[in-house]
Amino acid sequence: MIDAPDFIAAAAERGISFWTGVPCSFLTPLMNAVISSSDAAYVGAASEGEAVAIAAGAWLAGRETAVMCQNSGLGNTVNPLTSLNFPFRIPTLVLTTWRGQPGIGDEPQHELMGQITQGLLDLVQVPNAPFPASAAAIGPALDTAMARMAETSLPFGFVLPKGGVAKSPLDETPVAARPACTPEGAFTAAEPPRRVEVLDLIRASVPDDTGLIATTGYCGRELYALDDAPAHLYTVGSMGGASAIGLGAALNTDREIVVLDGDGAALMKLGNLATIGAEQPANLTHVILDNGIHESTGGQRTVSPGVDFATVASACGYAFAGRADTLEDSGTLLRAALATPGPRLLHLKVSPSRIENLPRPKVTPETVARRFREYLA
């Protein structure tokens, strides 16, 4: 058994100072100590996959990161670990618990995951080791993890058994009450502009030093077709993760961050909006480009016609929210949003762009990630 402050201090000495995750009873001592520590910044995520994406955004803004979760939540991390961290080569330290460890009694829902925890990490190419069991083992274990992450630019995992960390008190500031903003603008029922036209408007209207994070699918490909720049991150995978990436980046840079999201992607990780509202990044603008379909997969309908994203954002604590369905109104709304400290959400109705022979980015995800990290730095 170790003391949590010893592990946190050793991690901080090696540059890991940004933490995010979802609680587990096995993690309580370590998570309480992280939350209470002056050596660590912590963001509580709505889901384990969101935590991985938040950490990726923080890494893109120059931080070294750690993600904490119960092994039952490893399934939620598979998508970003395989389609975000792997192609973009983004390292993070993954601390997962070992509920259902064979030979140790636990609840029935943990039985299978307890048998396959290390095998699942191996399968998604996250090398892993037992969590250090003594104070003397902390430094060498972290050195091994850091060396492996430096070598591969990929995550490394520790598996924490029951009772691995001594009890720690929790000193946590309550989430401040956030009065609901009144959404601005309205839908006119006009024929919406093409998404590529709105993307071009946003690209031309934001401050020159803004970082643009485009969701997976046609959105990122259209931004690339308009202009390829170090300020652009084309999220080629991890559907639903763009807003969490944006949050992690915005919390760790002074630059404006604009997330170009889709209705289907936003719906997939709607909990991200609650985390963004709680964290209150003043430099984050979240744009949901809503065409009502999953366009890049054949045009299947989403349920967005029944969702008022601006009202959802207001209820989650965004400082500004609005809606528009014309190019002119979208521009007016964007200017009003940028004049207000964030977080801000714009629900913009768009039509499919239907660009013939839409190119895919020819620059590799790894290169995109590193030039974006250099840009934010």
Q: What is the spatial distance between Cα 278 and Cα 272, in angstroms, rounded to a whole number?
A: 10
Tell me what pLDDT residue 326 has.
97
Q: What is the pLDDT of residues 199-237, one digit of tens each?
A: 999 999 999 999 999 999 999 999 999 999 999 999 999
Domains of the chain: 4-160 (3.40.50.970), 195-376 (3.40.50.970)
Q: What is the spatial distance between Cα 82 and Cα 88, in angstroms, rounded to a whole number?
A: 10
Tell me what pLDDT residue 122 has.
98
In the chain, which stretches have pLDDT less than 70? none
Identity (one letter) of the amino acid at 13?
Answer: E
Dig out the tokens for 50 from the structure.
């969101």
Tell me what pLDDT residue 178 has.
81
Dig out the tokens for 295 from the structure.
């366009």
| DSSP codes, 151-196 | HHSS-EEEEEPTT-B-------PPPPP-PPP--B-----PPPPBHH
Identity (one letter) of the amino acid at 54?
Answer: I
Q: What is the spatial distance between Cα 139 and Cα 122, in angstroms, rounded to a whole number?
A: 23
Q: What is the spatial distance between Cα 37 and Cα 227, in angstroms, rounded to a whole number?
A: 42
pTM of the entire predicted model: 0.97
Tell me what pLDDT residue 364 has.
97
Report residue 68: phi and psi, to 5°: -115, 135
